């Protein structure tokens, strides 16, 4: 069965600093991996996805993530944090290759940006 | 496209009452998912449908919960009778077999007193 572990339920960075949110996955088949963002009182919005193409995936709002099979990781990064990045971030894994399979979500990481 | 539509956005009800949550998926999507989000348990998949047929309902907590999808553009999640521990935000999401991602609605915040 697939699983996702997000290291750190809360991450706090200063505005302009590097953002690094960690995600490790477990999957018995080549995984499809996703990062979603949830702003307060809203639904989840897709940031980016890995579907076995390029290992470095670029998403919206300047975020990117790198798939590392040897480390079973899919960490999310952004070079320079902005106040508007404050939100909760979820990593998820799905069995591929057919689309829209059910997702297994991590517990989420709440990102706080300090001015 | 209007995205996934959920109604109501907020629901407050008393213990023992029936609650019905509604979802309209994105047109053309053939998968529909119901999730529940709480502080304690995070985001849980309750049930999902493919082409209006329930595929996996192993996440439905108990018999008080039921979900239907009578057609491709409408689904309901019903709780009868409701209990305070059902208080949560319920999300509906839809997706296409031509893609991989799911698109989430804004959620229904349910409070059972």
pLDDT single digits (tens) A73-94: 999 999 999 999 999 999 999 8
User: Residue A96's pLDDT band (boundaries 50, 70, 90)?
Assistant: low
Q: What is the pLDDT of residue B88?
A: 97
Q: B69 near A74, Cβ under 8 Å?
A: no
Mean pLDDT of B7-25: 97
Comparing CB atoms, the residue among B100, B104, B107 nearest residue A32 is B100
Q: Do B101 and A102 touch (CB under 8 A)?
A: no
**Chain-centre distance for alpha carbon A44:** 12
CB-neighbour burial class of residue B56 (10 A; exposed 0-12, middle 13-18, buried 19+): middle
User: Residue B1's pLDDT band (boundaries 50, 70, 90)?
Assistant: low
Q: A41 near A49, Cβ under 8 Å?
A: no
Comparing CB atoms, the residue among B56, B97, B103 nearest residue A98 is B97
Q: Among A70-79, A99-108, B28-37, B103-112, where is mean pLDDT lowest?
A: A99-108
Mean pLDDT of A50-68: 92
Q: What is the pLDDT of residue A30?
A: 78
In sign, the C-alpha dihedral spanning B13, B55, B59, A35 is: negative
Q: Is the pLDDT of residue A100 over 60?
A: no
- Better-predicted residue by pLDDT, B99 or B6: B6
Count Cα atoms within 13 angstroms, Cβ side, for B93. 30
User: Residue B100's pLDDT band (boundaries 50, 70, 90)?
Assistant: confident
Q: B67 near B54, Cβ under 8 Å?
A: yes
E-assigned strands of chain B?
5-7, 10-13, 19-24, 31-38, 42-50, 53-56, 65-71, 74-79, 88-95, 102-104, 108-112
Count Cα atoms within 13 angstroms, Cβ side, for A23. 29
Q: What is the mean pLDDT of chain B?
A: 94
- Of chain A, the percentage scoring pLDDT greater than 90 comes to 73
Q: Is the pLDDT of residue A62 over 80?
A: yes
Q: What is the pLDDT of residue B89?
A: 97
Three-state DSSP class for residue A76: strand
Q: What is the pLDDT of residue A4?
A: 93
Q: Is the pLDDT of residue B91 over 60?
A: yes
Count Cα atoms within 13 angstroms, Cβ side, for A64. 10
- Chain A interface residues (partner B, CB cutoff 8 A): 32, 34, 36, 42-46, 49, 51, 90, 94, 96, 98-105, 107-108
Q: What is the pLDDT of residue B46?
A: 95
Q: Is the pLDDT of residue A98 over 80?
A: no
Q: Which residues of B10-31 are buried (b: 16+ CB within 10 A; e: fewer)?
A: ebebeeeeebebbbbbbeebbb
Helix (H) or strand (E) segment spanning residue A114: strand A109-114
Q: Is the pLDDT of residue A29 over 90?
A: no
Q: A51 near A71, Cβ under 8 Å?
A: no
Report the alpha-carbon distance of residue B35 to residue B87 in Å, rounded: 13
């Amino acid at each position: 069965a697939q699983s996702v572990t997000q290291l750190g339920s809360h991450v706090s960075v200063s505005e302009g600093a590097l953002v690094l949110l960690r995600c490790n996955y477990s999957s018995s088949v080549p995984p499809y991996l996703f990062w979603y963002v949830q702003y307060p009182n809203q639904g989840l919005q897709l940031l980016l996805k890995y579907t076995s193409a390029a290992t470095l995936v670029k998403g919206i709002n300047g975020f990117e993530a790198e798939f590392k099979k040897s480390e079973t990781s899919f960490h999310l990064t952004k070079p320079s944090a902005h106040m508007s990045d404050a939100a909760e971030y979820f990593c998820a894994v799905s069995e591929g290759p057919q689309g829209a399979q059910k997702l297994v979500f991590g517990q989420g990481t709440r990102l706080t940006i300090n001015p | 496209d209007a995205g996934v539509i959920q109604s109501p956005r907020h629901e407050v009800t008393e213990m023992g009452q029936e609650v019905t949550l509604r979802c309209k998926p994105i047109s053309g999507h053939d998968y529909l998912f119901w999730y529940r989000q709480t502080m304690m348990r995070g985001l849980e998949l309750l049930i999902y449908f493919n082409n209006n047929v329930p595929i996996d309902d192993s996440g439905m907590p108990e018999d008080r919960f039921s979900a239907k999808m009578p057609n491709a553009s409408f689904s309901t999640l019903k709780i009868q009778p409701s209990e305070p521990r059902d208080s949560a935000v319920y999300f509906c999401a839809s997706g296409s077999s031509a893609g991989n991602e799911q698109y989430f609605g804004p959620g229904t915040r349910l409070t059972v007193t």
